[in-house]
Amino acid sequence: MANQLRMQGFANAQDQAQLFLTSLLALSQQPQTFSSLAEAIRHWRKNAPKVSFAHQLSFFNSPAFIKKLAQEKKLKHYLQDSISYLFVRDLDLDLNQAEVASKIDTLAEDLAKQLSPSNDPRTTAANTDMMTQGFLWAIKHQAESAFIWLSAKIYRLKQELPEALAEHQGLRKLLKVVAGVLMNSWQSQGDAADFDQAIRLGYYYGLTYPLIDDLQDSQVLTPAQQQSFDQALEASILTGVVHKPTEQTPWLTYVFDELAEAFTFIQQQQGDHFEAFLDQAYIFLKSQQQTSGQLWLDMINKSSRSRILADALVSNQVQLGNYQYFGLFNQLHDDLKDVELDYQEGNITPFVALIYHNQTYQGIHPYKLYWALLHHLIYHCYREDPKIKQLLIKRCINSHKSLLERLGKEPFLQRLQQLTQGCPELDELQQALLTTLEMPLEMAWLDKFFSTQLQEQLQQDKAGELKQRIEGIQAQIKNLLPLPADNELEEAGNYSLAAGGKYFRGVLCTLYSQDCLNLEFAAIAPVIRFIEYMHTASLILDDKPSQDNSDLRRGQPTLHQHLQSEAKAEIAAVNLIFKAVEVHAGMGIFKAENLLASLEYASQLSQKICHGQWLDLDSQGKTLSLEALEEISLKKTAYAIESALVLPAILAGQPKQQLARLKQYAHHLGIAFQIKDDLLDVEADNATLGKPAQLDQQNQTSTFVRCLGRQGATEQLYRHYYQAIEAVREIPNSQALVQIASWLVERQN
């Protein structure tokens, strides 16, 4: 019965979309439709905010523009405009209602305070990281656990996502959905909103993009897998119970496991409204599959249901409202800008058909329909409301400005000619548009700014802002470490030192010392040698059969394997420890009292690290609690990281307050480091790790993954990551410490 009702619901939606399309086509046949829009654009241009600085859209989507707005006391007005548009487009709200206007003003005020750049260098480290800002927001709104859960889910999704899908920016779109559901919850429920639930709902619904929408547009699946995927998805929505596809791959198993979680959670939240939610989901799915042969009707239904479903998650009500009009309007916006990408991927959109094949899809001219829809929104849906009218026109101009910048002037004019060929009724409108595009107008939008910043941050693990600097430091450290090699004992030490690696602690020491203490590399070189000698000695001992029993380290035979002697490997490790003590005692450029304090600190810390290794060995074969694992990680890993920061701080005479912050940062970072190692043991292969994978499982080692499961361990990873960043927010010029913490979470070995 449910199957028939859902199929009938889709048929009804197609009929409704046909009525809407027919009315738009009639509007597009009336010349006054376009002449009135031309006049509206000319009027808007006269009153549009001008700028006297570089006005490429990339600038408007950058922190530099936000800073300039704040300096000129224009930030709140910019935010009010952007939020107003989002409230109309995504929430279908009436801007003339006093309650809505008040909420826009409140949100603009709060965001202005959050986005306004500070002259205090202590606040700049975390302010540029949107996920960290999200975590701080979540703490404020009692949604900390959900935000950490979300971070862990995104981490796993990034691990699983095929490269072909990553290019579709599904992660960015997913996070935009989460933000949209949060905004919807806040608007409808105010301070009583359950943001914890909204974050989880937003993620589960946002999976539509990377796991369904983008998958349909990619070439990831074979034809047989695609058919199996479509059938399983349709059966799942028809019945309300997830059916896994018959064609199984690790990727598809992950996809349907996540969808099963989503179904369960949304059903628990929706209750009796779940069936109505599935009705709309079925319309969305069938429109996405485009099996009806009615591309325009499918576009209308798909684009509108994405917003209707998001609204229904929060309100438990299904309302069409103006979503149908805004959905198609934004779809045409995107298709107009993405013609080249769609063509390359083989997607035949109406604009691809017009530009590349010189034909209209089903006889409908997409560019005329685009303008007719703008007219419909301004004059029919919103009765020429002045505020909404100027927002809609600005959004339209912005879209063309973006296309102009991407194509260049001459190709853009050629594109316009292709779009308007055979349509003389668009001539006046085209001239008004071109005149506007030549002016230095402010074309900024908050959602685009957030989207751009978010995408850049999601790609940081590939680009690596610190990459070149870190590589330079690593080269300096590598040249710094070799022993004189006067005998075989020192040659054995050099074998392990030459294995290379990331020199994580040495790099961290250098970044902190240079940025926060203004020390040159030469001044801290002895500190780095001490740290790396002690660390390498500990690795030699860790790898022995009596401890971790590893035959590979950084892709090379471990020292006891290389020497074919455990005893000689032990002696080489002890020799490195004494060499470290010698180097430390010789740091004569620092004050004597500071040097003595650092020696005492290093000795005490080394004892704690030894105790950590003792506890680790004592835990073999035992099932440890989370608390016990964190204690071992603190003593075995975090204290070693702590030394890289606290040693130079003590030598430089830093106050106790800063030492405490550094220790807090190191403790959380060290535990996060160990959790990441545990995760890599189950995620990576031998070649990537540079040592045997699955070693923890073979040795029955108690790890965070065995204790908490993969999701639970990842949540703990992010809990400590965010707390580490929070610890150094008050330390001036600590941006590099924040970025290296991010690198730690993203590292692949």
Q: Which CATH number does the domain housing residue 559 bear?
A: 1.10.600.10
Please state the three-class secondary structure of 646-682 as a single string.
Answer: HHHHHHCCCCHHHHHHHHHHHHHHHHHHHHHHHHHHH
In this prediction, residue 318 carries a pLDDT of 78
**Within-domain flag for 710:** yes
In this prediction, residue 744 carries a pLDDT of 86
Assess contact for 318 and 280: CB atoms under 8 A. yes
Q: How many CB atoms lie within 10 A of CB 497?
A: 21
Q: What are phi and psi of 557, to 5 degrees?
A: -55, 140
pTM score, whole prediction: 0.84
Question: What tokens were used for 536?
Answer: 């390498």
Q: What are phi and psi of 699, to 5 degrees?
A: -85, 0
Tell me the Ramachandran region of residue 296: left when phi exceeds 0, alpha when psi lies from -120 to 50, beta otherwise. Answer: alpha
Pairing of strands 556-557, 552-553: antiparallel
Q: Which residues pair with 50 in a beta bridge?
A: 441
In this prediction, residue 132 carries a pLDDT of 82
In this prediction, residue 463 carries a pLDDT of 44
**Within-domain flag for 392:** no
CA gap 198, 513 in Å, rounded:
42
**Within-domain flag for 731:** yes
User: DSSP character for 552?
Assistant: E
Residue pLDDT, tens place only, 539-591: 888 788 877 777 777 778 888 888 888 889 888 888 988 998 899 888 888 99
Q: Which residues contact 517 (CB under 8 A, 6 or more apart)?
A: 648, 649, 652, 654
CA gap 150, 157 in Å, rounded:
10
Residue pLDDT, tens place only, 666-692: 999 999 999 998 999 888 665 555 555
Q: Which of 318, 346, 375 is the last residue of a domain?
A: 318
In this prediction, residue 459 carries a pLDDT of 63
Q: With bands split at pLDDT 50, 70 and 90, how would you rate the model's confidence at 618?
A: confident
Task: Please say if the pLDDT value at position 503 is more than 60.
Answer: yes
Q: What is the mean pLDDT of the chain?
A: 86
Q: With bands split at pLDDT 50, 70 and 90, how would you rate the model's confidence at 535?
A: confident
Residue pLDDT, tens place only, 392-424: 999 999 889 889 988 999 999 999 999 999 999
Q: Which of 318, 342, 377 is the last residue of a domain?
A: 318
Q: What are phi and psi of 719, to 5 degrees?
A: -60, -45
Task: Please say if the pLDDT value at position 716 is more than 80.
Answer: yes
The one-letter code for the residue type at 725 is: I
Q: Check residues 349 and 555 and name the one with the higher pLDDT.
A: 349
Q: How many structural domains is the chain composed of?
A: 2
With b meaning 16 or more CB within 10 Å and e meaning fewer, what string describes 430-446?
bebbeebbeeebbbbbb
Taking alpha carbons only, the member of 727, 607, 616, 609 closest to residue 662 is 727
CA gap 517, 531 in Å, rounded:
18
In this prediction, residue 101 carries a pLDDT of 92
Q: Which of 318, 344, 374 is the last residue of a domain?
A: 318
In this prediction, residue 434 carries a pLDDT of 93
Question: What tokens were used for 32?
Answer: 């006054």
Question: What tokens were used for 277?
Answer: 């939610």
**Within-domain flag for 471:** yes
In this prediction, residue 526 carries a pLDDT of 93
Q: Which residues contact 654 (CB under 8 A, 6 or more apart)?
A: 517
Task: Please say if the pLDDT value at position 297 is more than 80.
Answer: yes
Residue 641 half-sphere exposure, CB side, CA atoms within 13 Å?
Answer: 26
Q: With bands split at pLDDT 50, 70 and 90, how would you rate the model's confidence at 374?
A: very high
- From 88-92, 211-215, 731-735, the region with the lowest mean pLDDT: 211-215
CA gap 350, 352 in Å, rounded:
6
- From 36-45, 129-138, 246-255, 459-468, the region with the lowest mean pLDDT: 459-468
**Within-domain flag for 427:** no
Q: Which residues pair with 361 in a beta bridge?
A: 364
- From 11-20, 111-120, 293-302, 486-495, the region with the lowest mean pLDDT: 111-120
In this prediction, residue 130 carries a pLDDT of 76
497 vs 469, 509, 545, CA distance in Å?
21, 18, 20
CA gap 439, 47 in Å, rounded:
12
In the chain, the percentage of residues whose pLDDT exceeds 90 is 40
**Within-domain flag for 402:** no
Task: Please say if the pLDDT value at position 292 is more than 60.
Answer: yes
Assess contact for 365 and 21: CB atoms under 8 A. no
| Average pLDDT of span 342-363 | 87
**Within-domain flag for 523:** yes
Full domain range(s) for residue 697: 463-746
Q: Which residues pair with 557 in a beta bridge?
A: 552
Assess contact for 560 and 544: CB atoms under 8 A. yes
Q: Check residues 451 and 656 and name the one with the higher pLDDT.
A: 656
Task: Please say if the pLDDT value at position 741 is more than 70.
Answer: yes
Assess contact for 675 and 720: CB atoms under 8 A. yes
Q: Which residues contact 729 (CB under 8 A, 6 or more apart)?
A: 122, 123, 125, 126
The full DSSP string for 183-201 is HHHHHHHGGG--HHHHHHH
CA gap 466, 508 in Å, rounded:
12
Q: With bands split at pLDDT 50, 70 and 90, how would you rate the model's confidence at 148?
A: very high
CA 372, 373, 377, 378 torsion-angle sign = negative
| Burial of 70 per CB tally in 10 Å (0-12, 13-18, 19+) | middle
Task: Please say if the pLDDT value at position 225 is more than 60.
Answer: yes
CA gap 7, 9 in Å, rounded:
5
Taking alpha carbons only, the member of 594, 458, 602 closest to residue 530 is 602
Taking alpha carbons only, the member of 322, 290, 425 closest to residue 369 is 425
Q: With bands split at pLDDT 50, 70 and 90, how would you rate the model's confidence at 465?
A: low
CA gap 138, 722 in Å, rounded:
12
With b meaning 16 or more CB within 10 Å and e meaning fewer, what string describes 555-579?
ebbbbbbbbeebebbbbbbebbbeb
**Within-domain flag for 43:** no
Helix, strand, coil percent content, the chain, rounded in steps of 5: 75, 0, 20
Task: Please say if the pLDDT value at position 521 is more than 90.
Answer: yes
